[in-house]
Structure 1
Amino acid sequence: MDTVHDVVVVGAGPVGLAAARMLGRRGFSVLVLERWPEPYPRPRAVHFDDEIGRVFQGLGLAGPVKAISEAVPDHYEWRNAAGESLVRIDWSGLGPGGWPTASFFSQPDLEKVLAEAVEAMPEVTLLRGAEVVGVEERAEDVLVTYTAVGHRSARARFVIGCDGANSFVREHLGVGWHDQGFFYDWLIVDTIPLDERDWSPQNWQLCDPARPTTIVSGGPGRRRWEFMRLPGETREELNTAEKAWELLGPWGRTPENSRLERHAVYTFAARWADRWNRGRLAIAGDAAHQMPPFAGQGLCSGLRDVANLCWKLDRVLRGESAFALLDTYTSERRAHLQHAIAMSVELGRVICVLDERQAADRDRRMIAGGADPARVLPVSALPVLGDGVLADSPATSTLRGTLAPQFPVGRAGQRALLDDATGDGAVLLTLDEVSEDFDGRAFTIGTDLRDPDGAWARWFEAHRLRAVFIRPDHYIFGAVTDLADTKELVARYRDLVTTATGEPISCV
């Protein structure tokens, strides 16, 4: 007989496992189907930022994730062939999300943390060696057929495709692509150094037209090099262990002082699907978009996807919101993602220059700009969500749809980051007591929540705010400069998420 679940997640990479944990923690039955019988043991993604650290914190995995990652102690630098700095991006210290601005890890280690967490949950079943071969949308459910010791099937109220760039779920949706036409082949070489060495700066790019090269951390105890394929080279010539050692040679890396963990040629692309959800189906992560790795936002974007989708799906599955709420997943995330892709592409255009004259022109321009990202890179605005669950009026337009900070607070005599003190769900933060308590989810800075570092007071003052309304995914629904407008702000949120409220969608 078919098994019955609230949600089937296709794909057990970090995005799929995170989605399963988010939904399992909300009490839903989740089946995760992964085509490969064992986790892939080689490195792939290596970076997450402070926003994504906050996502891991919300999954209850702050400690285990910090244990397998390392924070960047300095800057992310881009140099020309002469060693001159073209751009310096400060990655040191804590970001506004309360986590290190940038952290590096090895993907197998992260997947192990996530897999162990979901396997310990009674609400979640992780089934490996189960390739999805059919998705049939029906009036009251989705029938998912998969191979696992023969053909099996499961019924679900909703299906999330986190099944990578060649997504089966996306193919079933039949959606098109918006492609930026940015394609370059790079050889990725992951190593484990066997010697002691100070890597400073820890992460940088060599913008040398003779061979553009990336040198970054691969997580604790690992280093990664990425080498651009040159004209006249084939992918097959580039993707050998012998070629990897040849390219590592000038960097002092040899079989005597390093272990070669992986070498693979990737084609960097910049594109996104036209639509990310329809009916009872949605896609996330690489199934919905791909981007060059130069800004380190590939995995981050996928985890933002499921953070956005899962709080809305929670409401729909419970019958608190209509299916139409899920359409804001596509409209919000697709627009937001384009900032990450634009930044990645612009950084790619800095490094992927093989013409010496063009490289010299680039170098002069960027050096004249003082290597300041705000001056030498055209993408500088804060990423903002597209149309969706966002306030219209009254609201501060500069903050609406941006990520809220997570400064420390004090509560019950304990110091904690905001989310740990307030818990899951939407939150109203104010500088003064208000009669609108938002079902107990309103907190006043200074009384309900202490401001031990004064960071919240400075932030409210800098934006001339009296109250800010933060969604469950930590993005700002809206903010007001007059406390009298708070009631209208909360009412507008309720209206947007509960319009045309439906019955809980069943799977019977």
Structure 2
Amino acid sequence: MSGSPPETYGDSPKAHDVAIVGFGPVGQTLALLLGRAGRDVVALERWPDPYPLPRAAHFDHEIGRVFQAGGVGEEVRAVTDPVHDHYEWRNAAGEPLVRIDWSGNGPSGWPTANFFSQPQLEAVLAAAAERQPTVSVRRGCEVVGLRPEDESVLLTTRGAGGGEVRARYVVGADGANSFVRSTMTTSVTDLGFFYDWLVVDTLPHDRAAWSPKNWQLCDPRRPTTIVSGGPGRRRWEFMRLPHESVEELRTPEAAWRLLEPWGRTPENTTIERHAVYTFQARWVERWREGRLVLAGDAAHQMPPFAGQGMCSGLRDAVNLAWKLDLVLDGRADPALLDTYTSECSEHVQHAIGMSMALGQVICVLDPEEAAARDARMTAAGADPRYALPPTPPPSSATESSSAAPTAAGRRTRATSPRSTRSPTRAVPHCSTTSPAAVSRFSRTGRDRSTPWKPPTATSSPASARASCRCTRRTPRPRAIWTRPTATCPTCANGGTSPPSSGRTSICSAPPPTRGDCVSWSGSCGDSCGTPP
């Protein structure tokens, strides 16, 4: 149901089971799942009409199962472009640095990777949610006040159908500048990852063949992303260079200038949208505060390089829907909702770490650094198991808020009521802060603000092991090897043979042959010489 007037009993508004603030893909999916469970849901969206232009563009096989569970699987398939080949990164010379197999179906039974245009996906999800008899949607209705009470929350709204709304729980799915989050006292951890990229969505007039269909150009002169934008669409993303301003990059002239080398002109292509985005990496420490809960971008934001931004938000919706259903029905204690943060936050921090690690590979502007990266990744045979940097594990600890950035560039800050501003940037544009340097893991209570130091050629195995701060008690090493050289400065065996300790069986890579140069790397990324 859409645009229903507020229901009241006497002078008090009816208490809905759940009020969802924000009606994008996350709010729509949550409303759909709760509506299918018979819950009384009201969705409050500040904008009167759906946003008509592309934004999110990718979901994986797990999210396909989410749509299937919501009863919209076939409708979603009709508006998606599944990937039938691989996802590739290439250097400036066109050589593959990484090749990731995206062909076929994933373990969930859906295609491994799927691209779409967000307005088309939202139309499917919104229509399905509004078909639920217990779901009402009010567009053009902005929430401007929240007052938590013992048994419910009173929301004040303005605009279409403005007035008071009461709900037993309120879910803030209202995006990065969340109003709901601004009323909570939870802190936001910002990893200081800021890159400006021009995103250009296009409608090609021709039927050009794109092979591979989705890839990254890791050229220090202009890092570029080329991917599907859904059926009949293509997306280009261009990293802003230091000498360029955001203002000059967001012009139509700049978009056409950057598209021209790719054979895209006004004669054969229509630009559907062009906008400059600042990619960021941050998350909220506590996603639930009493009867207020956060989901999607209101709780976390990440760079797009792993394609997990919207996916993570939809996983939030699934995790939250069944827990709210049990709590509202009295079959579970409200404390069950605390597991929503502990389960989803750890997962999303891993996704953020993975996205940052990929970004640190792609967003390289220094030619010498890019050459070293290319040499390392091509030596690994473009195999993602060995070519990609290790992903730091997530932190499950909650830090106290601080106004000062750490040495690694992280800033943790408490959000205060009525403050809608995100935390101040901790590092300048195009920071090269290592994702591991801003992670907060400790094995023995070590100072968590101490930056992680990547392996260097002068590191000794003993010193590297001493600085290893993996969350696991015994790091699980992996072997990375190249063909024999005269000497290897980081190999404990001088580049002459693999370790003779008999421990190669615990390595995730195939055992190296004698004569290969071996470097052992723990799960935290420290070079430990030989397996611990």
CA distance in 2 between partners of 1:40 and 1:203 (Å): 25
Q: Say if 2:177 is the partner of 1:182.
A: no
CA distance in 2 between partners of 1:124 and 1:131 (Å): 18
Deviation at 1:148, TM superposition (A): 2.3
Summarize the Cα distance change of 1:196–1:151 in structure 2 as closer, same or farther, 3 Å threshold.
closer
Q: Which amino acid aligns with 1:277?
A: R
TM-score of the aligned structures, taking structure 1 as reference length: 0.74
Provide the aligned C-alpha RMSD in A: 1.5
Larger radius of gyration: 2
Q: Which amino acid aligns with 1:146?
A: T
Query: How do residues 476-487 of structure 1 correspond to structure 2 at under 5 angstroms?
Result: none
- 2:480 aligns with none
Deviation at 1:186, TM superposition (A): 0.3
- 1:316 aligns with 327
Specify every segment of 5 or more residues in structure 1 that has no aligned partner in the other structure, as ranges: 388-508
Residue-pair matches, total? 386
CA distance in 1 between partners of 2:390 and 2:181 (Å): 29
- 2:365 aligns with 354
- 1:372 aligns with 383
Contact 2:51 2:119 in 1 (8 A): yes
- 2:430 aligns with none
Tell me the alpha carbon deviations over residues 416-451 of structure 1, each in whole angstroms, 9 at most, x when there is no partner: xxxxxxxxxxxxxxxxxxxxxxxxxxxxxxxxxxxx
Tell me the alpha carbon deviations over residues 370-409 of structure 1, each in whole angstroms, 9 at most, x when there is no partner: 111111223469x99979xxxxxxxxxxxxxxxxxxxxxx
Identify which of 237, 242, 255 aligns with 1:231.
242
CA distance in 1 between partners of 2:322 and 2:383 (Å): 37
- 2:284 aligns with 273
- 1:394 aligns with none
Specify every segment of 5 or more residues in structure 2 that has no aligned partner in the other structure, as ranges: 1-7, 398-532
Q: Secondary structure at the match of 1:342?
A: helix
Q: Which amino acid aligns with 1:272?
A: W
Contact 1:270 1:290 in 2 (8 A): yes
Q: Secondary structure at the match of 2:183?
A: helix
Identify which of 287, 291, 298 aligns with 2:309.
298
Q: Which amino acid aligns with 1:292?
A: P
Contact 1:336 1:386 in 2 (8 A): no
Query: How do residues 338-417 of structure 1 correspond to structure 2 at under 5 angstroms?
Result: 338-379=349-390
Query: How do residues 155-194 of structure 1 correspond to structure 2 at under 5 angstroms?
Result: 155-194=166-205
Contact 2:43 2:137 in 1 (8 A): yes
Deviation at 1:149, TM superposition (A): 3.9
Q: Secondary structure at the match of 1:173?
A: coil
- 1:260 aligns with 271
Q: Secondary structure at the match of 2:349?
A: helix
Query: How do residues 207-218 of structure 1 correspond to structure 2 at under 5 angstroms?
Result: 207-218=218-229
Tell me the alpha carbon deviations over residues 323-349 of structure 1, each in whole angstroms, 9 at most, x when there is no partner: 111000001111111111111101100
Tell me the alpha carbon deviations over residues 173-204 of structure 1, each in whole angstroms, 9 at most, x when there is no partner: 12211111110000000000001111110000
Contact 2:357 2:391 in 1 (8 A): no
Summarize the Cα distance change of 1:156–1:288 in structure 2 as closer, same or farther, 3 Å threshold.
same
CA distance in 1 between partners of 2:228 and 2:161 (Å): 42
Identify which of 230, 233, 244 aligns with 1:222.
233
CA distance in 1 between partners of 2:346 and 2:230 (Å): 30
Between the aligned residues of both structures, percent identity stands at: 65
Q: Say if 2:122 is the partner of 1:111.
A: yes
Tell me the alpha carbon deviations over residues 15-40 of structure 1, each in whole angstroms, 9 at most, x when there is no partner: 00000011011110000000000000
- 1:87 aligns with 98
- 2:527 aligns with none
- 1:60 aligns with 71
Contact 2:54 2:273 in 1 (8 A): yes
Contact 1:182 1:270 in 2 (8 A): yes
TM-score of the aligned structures, taking structure 2 as reference length: 0.71
Deviation at 1:63, TM superposition (A): 0.5
Deviation at 1:171, TM superposition (A): 0.7
CA distance in 1 between partners of 2:162 and 2:207 (Å): 51
Identify which of 16, 20, 45 aligns with 1:9.
20
